[in-house]
Structure 1
Amino acid sequence: MNFQPVERKQFAIAVSPKVFDAVGKRAREQGLSPTAYAKLLFEAGFAARVGQERGLPADDTELDEQVRLVFACAGQGDSKAIARATGVKPALVERILDAWRRGAFSTKEKMR
């Protein structure tokens, strides 16, 4: 499998100090940078908004599930938590995560 680099674009946003501190705290708890954590939150919120625009609005429970799925797909949480969020068996989740890690390591080695 040959993965091609994807062009990335950036947004610059400003938030209140209270929100900034709260995002930073939660990011540290997850072992992420505040920017990485904010990106996951944005992606989850954007997915929910697209669903609303398509006439598939998410209720609070569904939105919570979508956020969990985004974080699970980003590798946050242990394999049991990811399995609960995605409905995939824990053993398969572990195999997928191992393959992603090997692929990421392989890609980093090729870039050197």
Structure 2
Amino acid sequence: MNLTFTPAAIRRIELLRGDLPGRLHLDYSTEGCVCENSGIFRLRLVTGPTSEDTEFTSNLGPILIKEWTAVFLEEVLTIDFDRRTTALILKSDGQYYNQNLLFADVAGNFIYPNIT
């Protein structure tokens, strides 16, 4: 799997991340969902990989993902940023996976900057 961050998405992630420690993880959250097929992807900082994680390539370096969640995604992905909605977007050539991709720190707290 390969993920390309657009220049606009890179700027947004740098703004969101600031000096926060951790590695980027494309996390599939099923919190509040009844089954594993009813989840949502988000970007999260983690301290390191777990036994469930695998890496895939991106133009920002290796990204972690839980191996069992990779089956939900296509092989070539893009994360973009929409200035109008101030949202990160996870997509492929064929579909949108999340048009409001949230960003969380290592504690799982979502980061919402005031700057657009």
Q: Could you say which structure has the higher strand fraction?
A: 2
Provide TM-score, normalisation by structure 2: 0.28
Q: Which has the higher contact order (CA 8 A, sep 6+)?
A: 2
Higher helix share: 1
Q: Which has the larger radius of gyration?
A: 1
TM-score by length of 1: 0.29
